[in-house]
Chains A and B, each alone.
Chain A
Amino acid sequence: MKKVCNLLTIVLGISLMMVGCKPKDEIQDPEALLEGYWQRANTNEYARFMRDNAETKDGYFLGYEWNEDDEVYEEDLWNISYHGNGWFEWFVTVGTKDNQLTQIHLMDNGGADIPKVYTIVTLTETTLRFTDGFKTRDYIKTTKP
């Protein structure tokens, strides 16, 4: 009896460990997959992730987003000589448990940098899903609108 109990305990422990050790899905070169235009599902909200080395700052990449449902257009972000509202710096952190997309949103007046850390749920050549624990966003790869 004692051995049976010990054996069950070992099997249970191993089982629990295996569950805890479920390996994550691996994403190859997430920056390359993110690069380009993305449209949020069922909206006219767009985001562009760029990897132009000339715009790299502190190892971050640059990107921008806009929402045409709010009467904001892509050219509005290019009509000023600096990167502000609508622009963000981004990088991907590949972790053991998950991959994180960090966006540091910029402001026109430079008053603050607004960090947003998302967990990448799905990232393929055509789809993107990430969440911040409160809200999940889905994007579809698109061409320049």
Chain B
Amino acid sequence: MKRFFKILGITLGSLLAVVIIAATVAIWWVFTPERLTPVARQVADKFITCNHELGNVDLTFFSTFPEFALRADGLYLINPMEGAQSDTLLAAPKVVAVVNVMEFLRNQNLIVRELSLPEVQANIFINEQGDNNFSVFVSSPDSTEEDTTAFSLPFQDIRVEGLQLTAPQLSFVDKKDSLSAQLTNTSIHGAVKGWDDVLLTLQSAAVSATLGDTQYANELQVGITLPAEVNLDSKHFVLHQAQVAINQFELGIDGVVDLQPDLAVDATIQTNNWQIEPLLALLPASITQSLQSFRLKGDIQLSAAAQLDMATNKSHVSIHQLDANVWHSSVSAKGEVDDVLNDLYLDMALDVNVPIRDVERWIPQDMQVTGAVKGNLAAKIKLADLTQMQLDKGHISGDLMLNDIHFQMDSMLANLDKMRLQFTLPNPTPSQKKVNWLAATLTMSPLAFEQTGSLTANIDESVLKVEAGNVLSDDPVLYASMNLSSKGQLVAKMDSMAATMQVPSLTAYAEYDTKDATHIPVFKASLDFDDLEGNYTDWLAHLEKSTLKASITGGKRNKSVPVMSAQITTTSLTASQGEDLAAKTGALSISAKARYNSKADQILLKWNPRLDVDLKDGRALLSSLPPLIEIPQMRFSYSNKDFVIDTSRIVLGNSDFCLSGEVKNIGKWLQKKDTLVGVLNFTSSRTDVNEFMEWFSADKGSEETEATAATDTITTSTSTSTEEANPFLVPTDVDLTLNTHIDETVVFNQNARNLGGRIYIQDGKLVLEEVGFICRAAKLQLTAMYRTPRRNHLYLGFDYHMLDVNIQELVNMVPDVVDMVPMLKSFKGDAEFHLAAETYLKANYEPKVSTLRGACSIFGKDLVVLDSETFTTISKLLMFNKKTENIVDSISAEITLYKDEIDVYPFCVSIDNYMAALGGRHNLDMSFDYHVNLLKPLYLGVDVTGTFDDLNIKLAPCRYAKDFRPLFHGKVDTQSAELRATIRNSMRRNVKIQ
């Protein structure tokens, strides 16, 4: 064995020696530089078309062992072009070409396994016309042109299979595409196994590149591995899984790159995990400028396809998958990016998981929101519009789940466990023109909302649909509409107002000027609910099954003046205000408007209400009005301009009435600028006038000023000290007419039935005009007047006519008439009665006797004289027959009242066989002075004087014979008759009833 290895060793050594000796011989004697250099230079001349210099060429073996190599001491290509950065295309101090000797010896093909150019400097230039300085190699012989040179290549074919280049400085300038690049400390390795199998690797310590005016690279560390297919003629390159590394950013590219006529790229891109901050630092300022304020941190990974065509200036990137983790958020996106190099347009679908603090930038500065958002978003928008918050120029939609949401804006707070947010921007179908920016649907878990110091609201699970105007625009006015519905309850409290609502459904529209706090926000809302309990200060309210509509806006001329309206339709309302008001209704519909006037004091002038009410089954209790007010039905409309009652039925105290009509000038009347005018129609089954007078008295007389009203006092008859009374004073600025029909009425201590007529207040008078009614007597007409010129000078007068009267009923109805005609106590039967009386009163309603005026006219027939003590005395004196009933054919009496004097004008009575005349004076102190004349069967006179308790009867001459039955033939004295006729006729001129 040992011998075998010895033999083998000697054999190999011999072979090696032979090779070495052969190589040495070839290098030093055969292929010497003197022989190779000319050949190489001739080859260069053949293949290089520009000026060039080639140093000495020699063959190396030992320095390139085990390969033979041709080594040239320098290769310089000079191809000056106007505008080029240098005339020198290539400066290579040394060129080493490792050649395939065996291929050369066998086939005379010069195969350069590897061309090595260390320390190269190259300047590649393309001018504006597209001409370049590196097209200096002959790619293939031109068969059409005859080769006339004497030189012939010592090899059939020349091919470079590899390139190893190191360059301290490489420069590329493309004037045509405004592209330039500088590479520092670059090494390029190329391997060409045919033009369809080219591998190029490039490592450069610093690469800078500029496109146009934009610097896209600044001393980047670049590494490129570029397996490709290359067509130098057409500048067409096909990349197979090329790798580009820029600094720490790696990019895999598969695709096609064309350099003619312009740069065009169609490739797929795959990155490793890129850190965003350093990535942004690499990008040109024109791209990153709009992102600078974001201060993005995180990483991003991209898989995409890109198309770029500089000839048409089109660029497009299809993002297959983009995963980004920015701050605390993660986003996965896919989509399309168009016009990348210019006005970048996004068509992206994103899955997001974002803590809200990461997107604070998109939230108005005065709004703070915390929580997290997870879901998907879709956006079709330009990047510039997105970064400039012009979101309405694109289309953005999303379906997000928000968890643990805490919202705060100014003084508003809201807390929410979970909410699903579906939104579209812009709003494709805005319900109103102004809310065309956003449409959103929020499906919420129970929500707690608070506006510090005023409003708190809690609502069970609910759905909120919101439309909004552009909250990111410069318009200071915010527009929004909403619909909130819940199957649970809503509880809201604001200042001194609170409400609890079951199954609410709220639709609202609002405008709010964020710049001008004096402008009243516009708020319009419609609310439906099953049940509502609410309170406002001392107001309490409970509504069932209702619809509420409300609005508040600023005035058209002055937006700081609130104008409000509200409408309620409910099946039942219960309300109260402290101790002042309690009310309950059945079906109720109220429409109300109000316009606030801060300068007014009176509540109606302050709020200028307009009210339309339709009420059934109402009840109210007012502290200023003692009895319960029952309202079975009411329909009316009210404004300070007029108050129209279509129908109303009210039960008030002892009274009930139906009231309809119209009252005008309420507002001006409250301002003391005009007269309250109205016509009302009043029907009642029962009315207690005493109660109404007690409730509705005025404060001063019609001719009083405030000063005189305060000092106009009365001295009572029992005291020397002044004592102020408080009579009912008729207002002077009221012109109200009440047409009445009352089945039964109570006035003072009288009851009357079927009262109808006109009652009016006008010019400080309260007048009962030609009111007819039926009492226990028959036909009756009353005109009464009450005036109040001064608090202590009140007028009361009446004009009273009764036809077909039953005297006994008359006495019962008007007991005072007996004071004037005492003997009426002794009569019964039918009569006609006219009474007119008036007086002025003191404040305590005590009559001023000096102003007493009155007249009475009585006509009776078929009267029955009752037994009475007085008449019995007279009958004894005159010796009447004593019968239980004595008929008086007729009686006609006229009586006047003047101050304290009641004058009974002489009248004639026929009883039995007697004719008597009676007349005289009756005083208010009940003393009297009557004269009774017997005219049949004889003339006899009797004076009856004194009082009823102290009667004085004595004979006297006949005074009245001349009036009725003159003693002697002659005419009846007419003066008395004329006076009686004057009285009687003056009273009957006012009779309207028949």
Contacts and interface: CB of A to CB of B under 8 A. Distances in A.
Interface of A: 45, 66-67, 69-72, 76, 79-80, 85-86, 104-117, 134-135
B929 interface: yes
A114 B897 contact: yes
Interface stretch (B205-213, B372-380, B420-428, B979-987): B979-987
B795 interface: yes
Contacts of A76: 789-790, 793, 840
B933 to A, nearest CB: 15
B855 A114 contact: yes
Nearest to A110: B990
B979 A117 contact: yes
B104 interface: no
30 contacts: A45-B850, A67-B851, A69-B850, A70-B850, A70-B851, A72-B840, A72-B851, A76-B789, A76-B790, A76-B793, A79-B703, A85-B797, A105-B853, A106-B853, A107-B838, A108-B785, A108-B787, A110-B799, A111-B783, A111-B799, A111-B986, A111-B990, A112-B836, A112-B854, A112-B983, A112-B987, A113-B983, A134-B901, A134-B929, A135-B901
A79 B797 contact: no
Contacts of A109: 783, 785, 797-799, 836, 838
Given A112-B987, A115-B982, A71 B842 contact: yes
Nearest to B712: A71
Contacts of B897: 114
A75 to B, nearest CB: 9
B799 A114 contact: no
A59 B979 CA distance: 17
Given A72-B840, A105-B898, A79 B789 contact: yes
B35 interface: no
Q: Which 4 A-B pairs have the closest CB atoms?
A: A111-B836, A112-B855, A67-B850, A111-B799
B848 A111 contact: no
Given A109-B838, A111-B797, A114-B898, A134 B853 contact: no
Interface of B: 703, 714, 783, 785, 787, 789-790, 792-793, 795, 797-799, 836-840, 842, 848-851, 853-855, 896-898, 901, 903, 921, 929, 975, 979, 982-983, 986-987, 990
A93 B853 CA distance: 24
Contacts of B851: 67, 70, 72, 85-86
B848 A71 contact: yes
Given A72-B793, A85-B795, A108-B787, 4 more contacts: A69-B850, A71-B714, A107-B853, A112-B836
Q: Which among B838, B897, B982 has the highest number of chain A CB atoms within 10 Å?
A: B838
Nearest to B714: A71
Nearest to B793: A76
B921 A107 contact: no
Contacts of A115: 896, 979, 982-983
A34 to B, nearest CB: 19
Given A117-B979, A134-B921, A108 B795 contact: yes
A80 B797 CA distance: 15
Q: Which among B787, B799, B839, B986 has the highest number of chain A CB atoms within 10 Å?
A: B986
Contacts of A80: 789
Contacts of B975: 117
A125 to B, nearest CB: 26
Nearest to B983: A112
Contacts of B789: 76, 79-80
Nearest to B848: A70
| B interface: dominant SS | strand
B896 A114 contact: yes
A1 B272 CA distance: 186
Nearest to A112: B855
A119 to B, nearest CB: 12
Contacts of B854: 107, 111-112, 114
A104 B848 CA distance: 20
Contacts of A86: 851
Nearest to A73: B793
Contacts of B837: 111
B96 to A, nearest CB: 140
Nearest to A81: B763
A113 B793 contact: no
A101 to B, nearest CB: 14
B428 to A, nearest CB: 76
Contacts of B986: 111-113
Contacts of B792: 71
A82 to B, nearest CB: 12
B29 to A, nearest CB: 161
Nearest to B842: A71
A124 to B, nearest CB: 25
Nearest to B702: A79
Contacts of B799: 109-111
A107 B797 contact: yes
A66 B787 CA distance: 18
Q: Which among B703, B785, B797, B929 has the highest number of chain A CB atoms within 10 Å?
A: B797
Contacts of B849: 70
Contacts of A71: 714, 792-793, 842, 848
A47 to B, nearest CB: 11
Contacts of A112: 836, 853-855, 896, 983, 986-987
A72 B848 contact: yes
Q: Which among A104, A106, A112 has the highest number of chain B CB atoms within 10 Å?
A: A112
Contacts of A45: 850
A69 B848 CA distance: 9
A3 B526 CA distance: 129
Contact of A111 (B790, B838, B979, B982): B838
B901 A111 contact: no
Contacts of A107: 797, 836, 838, 853-854
Nearest to A113: B986
A135 B898 CA distance: 13
A134 B922 CA distance: 10
Contacts of A85: 795, 797, 838-840, 851, 853
Contacts of B896: 112, 114-116
Nearest to B785: A109
Given A76-B793, A134-B929, A116 B898 contact: yes
A93 B990 CA distance: 30
B905 to A, nearest CB: 9
A11 B274 CA distance: 168
A10 B312 CA distance: 168
Nearest to A93: B975
Contacts of A114: 853-855, 896-898, 983
A72 B850 contact: yes
A106 B975 CA distance: 19
A85 to B, nearest CB: 6
A79 to B, nearest CB: 6
A131 to B, nearest CB: 12
Nearest to B836: A111
A135 to B, nearest CB: 7
A145 to B, nearest CB: 15
A134 B842 CA distance: 28
A10 B850 CA distance: 54
A77 B410 CA distance: 72
B871 to A, nearest CB: 23
A110 B990 CA distance: 9
Contacts of B840: 72, 76, 85
B798 A66 contact: no
B785 A104 contact: no
A12 B534 CA distance: 111
A111 B987 contact: yes
A37 B797 CA distance: 28
A108 B794 CA distance: 12
Contacts of A135: 901, 921
Nearest to B990: A111
Contacts of A110: 799, 990
Contacts of B838: 85, 107-109, 111
Contacts of A67: 848, 850-851
